[in-house]
Amino acid sequence: MTTRSTLKVAVIGAGMMGSDHIARITRRISGAEVAVIVDPDPQRAAAAAELAPDAATAATFEEALTRRDLDAVLIASPGQFHEAVLLPALERKLAILCEKPLTPDVATALKITEAEQKLERPHIQVGFMRRFDAGYVQLKSMIETRKLGDLLLIHARHRNASSHLVNTEAMLIQDALVHELDVLPWLAGDRIASIDIKKPRPSRLAPEGLRDPQVAILEFTSGTMAIVEIFINARFGYQVKTEAVFEEGTAEIGETDGLRIRHEGQTSRFEPPTFKERFAAAYDTQIQKWVDASKDGRIDGPSAWDGYLAVAAAEAGVEAQRSGRPVEVVYEATPSFYDLEQPAPPRVPV
């Protein structure tokens, strides 16, 4: 826990997301400052440092850790590099915001949760920002209050204009679908019991070797199902929509609500180009809550255990993608250390 009024944050990774968070912390978040930007590419680090003129730069986290004034670390490098930062950050008992996925596989995700359990309380919050989006929060409350009866089915669409760093079949699940693997169980208050992946006719505009789009069929412990279209070269813009089907009606979030223009006999509407614009408010809320909670020695959002649950479902998803068959998702029992975790509802025979 820090007693300072300003949380001093090291940001790891000065790519698209890291730079976005650096600008956010510097301009929109109160109570925190970027103390150091870590990136192995000096040019990228220097470009990001223009967004936070008081920040230093470092080539490695090790170098950044020679500073004794750090309170927190925001990890925005790709998932395969997270473990190397998470372990020393836990040792230094820093507050941690780790972008998704926690790690690429179950073995390393569990290793991280084991290391965290040596501390007195959770230090890691995972960057599943959709949990802070106003639409998702409203939909969750609709599901919980059972206003329209029981939740039966979810139709979700996750479309990116183009896959920048996601260029393998496995990454489609581990890097993109992983959001649904976290947010849909959170919405439904349920656990994913099995996952199947179907591959429709592929777009010729997707990179070589990547069948895009794909469809994930998730079956929850309660019997509720979700059908998720994941299409990361959809070209027209960035779109994430979720429709919940209840016994007495439906509820939908994520419809484009940008500027509507009527001109020369046509109507057009602004579509967000990327997740940065679509989820800007959710990212702001997520980071502000994390900063505030970190000062109190808490996390305020998805824990490392939630990160592990999503990685476990993703690993099953990759297996389903390879085998062409539904795969059961098997989870370790939740340690009492992560007591924010909701118990899974009983399975309803279908």
- Identify which of residues 174 and 221 has a Cβ nearer to ligand ISE in the complex: 174
The answer to whether residue 65 forms part of the interface with ligand ISE (CB under 6 A) is: no
DSSP code at position 338: G
- Residue 271's H or E segment, with its range, is none
**β-strands 192-198, 327-328 pairing:** antiparallel
In the list 179, 187, 221, 317, the residue contacting ligand ISE (rule: CB under 6 A) is 179
Residues 189-228 as x/- pattern, contact with ligand ISE by CB under 6 A:
----------------------------------------
Kindly indicate which of the ranges 88-96, 137-145, 175-183, 198-206 contains the residues binding ligand ISE, using the contact rule CB under 6 A: 175-183
Residue 155 and residue 312: Cα distance in Å, rounded? 22
Q: Smallest distance, Å, CB 189 to ligand ISE?
A: 22
In the list 19, 103, 160, 221, the residue contacting ligand ISE (rule: CB under 6 A) is 160
- Identify which of residues 176 and 181 has a Cβ nearer to ligand ISE in the complex: 176
Kindly indicate which of the ranges 2-10, 27-35, 102-110, 171-179 contains the residues binding ligand ISE, using the contact rule CB under 6 A: 171-179
In the complex, residue closest to ligand ISE by CB: 176
3-state secondary structure at position 89: helix
The answer to whether residue 275 forms part of the interface with ligand ISE (CB under 6 A) is: yes
The answer to whether residue 169 forms part of the interface with ligand ISE (CB under 6 A) is: no
Question: In 3D, which of 168, 212, 180 has the Cα closest to residue 80?
Answer: 168
Question: In 3D, which of 85, 9, 48 has the Cα closest to residue 291?
Answer: 9
- Identify which of residues 33 and 229 has a Cβ nearer to ligand ISE in the complex: 229
Size of the site for ligand ISE (CB under 6 A): 7
**β-strands 239-246, 249-253 pairing:** antiparallel
Amino acid at 178: V
In the list 105, 175, 196, 212, the residue contacting ligand ISE (rule: CB under 6 A) is 175
Q: Sign of dihedral through CA atoms 234, 238, 240, 241?
A: negative
Q: What spatial distance separates the first Cα and last Cα of the chain, rounded to whole Å?
A: 48
- Identify which of residues 14 and 232 has a Cβ nearer to ligand ISE in the complex: 232
The answer to whether residue 166 forms part of the interface with ligand ISE (CB under 6 A) is: yes
In the list 176, 253, 313, 327, the residue contacting ligand ISE (rule: CB under 6 A) is 176
* C-beta of residue 281 within 8 angstroms of C-beta of residue 294: no
Q: Smallest distance, Å, CB 16 to ligand ISE?
A: 8
- Tokens 């509507």 locate to 260
Note if the bond before 213 is cis, omega within 30 degrees: yes
- Say how far residue 47 (Cα) sits from the centre of its chain: 25
Residues 227-246 as x/- pattern, contact with ligand ISE by CB under 6 A:
-----x--------------
Kindly indicate which of the ranges 174-182, 220-228, 257-265, 331-339 contains the residues binding ligand ISE, using the contact rule CB under 6 A: 174-182
* C-beta of residue 218 within 8 angstroms of C-beta of residue 229: no
The number of beta carbons lying within 10 Å of the beta carbon of residue 78 is 16
Chain residues in the site for ligand ISE (CB under 6 A): 160, 166, 175-176, 179, 232, 275
